[in-house]
Amino acid sequence: SQQGEEDPQALSIQEGENATMNCSYKTSINNLQWYRQNSGRGLVHLILIRSNEREKHSGRLRVTLDTSKKSSSLLITASRAADTASYFCATDNNNDMRFGAGTRLTVKP
Amino acid sequence: KAGVTQTPRYLIKTRGQQVTLSCSPISGHRSVSWYQQTPGQGLQFLFEYFSETQRNKGNFPGRFSGRQFSNSRSEMNVSTLELGDSALYLCASSLGRLGTQYFGPGTRLLVL
């Protein structure tokens, strides 16, 4: 069964705009990770945030984590057409990793 | 370092047959996890192997099995294939248990 739920399911924006995706989960976690998947290929790890961290940055990516609300958000700033992909959050509870259903992001040039 | 490799990349089988998929992790990685991805169910965790031992298993029937060898390479087997087993099977490796996962390109299985 899935642990995380991403919101929205799909997002379409213009190049240069910011994209925000949210993830909610149900159980306590050790860390939360975000991955990107281009059209039916393998997933690529983007960023990991530990349960005792509240915010993390990596290039144009900003991730926040609110363990009290069991939610996380991924912000992609100044989006590019190459950011078009599906984005998944994954929770690690020291037992296994569970992925959400993903957000399909389309960035129009 | 070479990435995670999976073979074969594409496979067509018929109902009732069995299939074996192979995954070679990144050199030095001892953990290998398998996932099934379908449009309807999304990414579902199958199992995780660490140091040749299955550490965790997802909610899949016994037809799905796997193993890990001493060189950390892993195989998964699906017996008595059903139409619903058509999916992209992804393998991921990590240094230790769980943590950052490095995914292979996947094996796309079509069951007719």
B89-98 residue pLDDT tens: 999 999 987 7
Burial class from Cβ neighbours inside 10 Å (0-12, 13-18, 19+) for residue A35 reads buried
Checking if the pLDDT of A3 tops 90, the result is no
B12-59 residue pLDDT tens: 999 999 999 999 999 999 999 999 999 888 899 999 999 999 998 989
Better pLDDT: A61 or A98: A61
What pLDDT was estimated at residue A1?
46
> Looking at the partner chain, which of A40, A96, A102 has a beta carbon nearest the beta carbon of B56?
A96
Q: Which residue of B has its CA nearest to A98?
A: B45
Between the alpha carbon of residue B11 and those of residues B16, B19, B36, B107, the distances in Å are: 15, 9, 15, 7
CB contact under 8 A, A30 and B98: yes
% of chain B exceeding 90 in pLDDT: 84
Question: How close B11 gets to chain A, by Cα (Å)?
Answer: 15
What pLDDT was estimated at residue B104?
96
A37-51 residue pLDDT tens: 998 788 999 999 999
Q: Measured between CB atoms, does A96 come within 8 Å of chain B?
A: yes
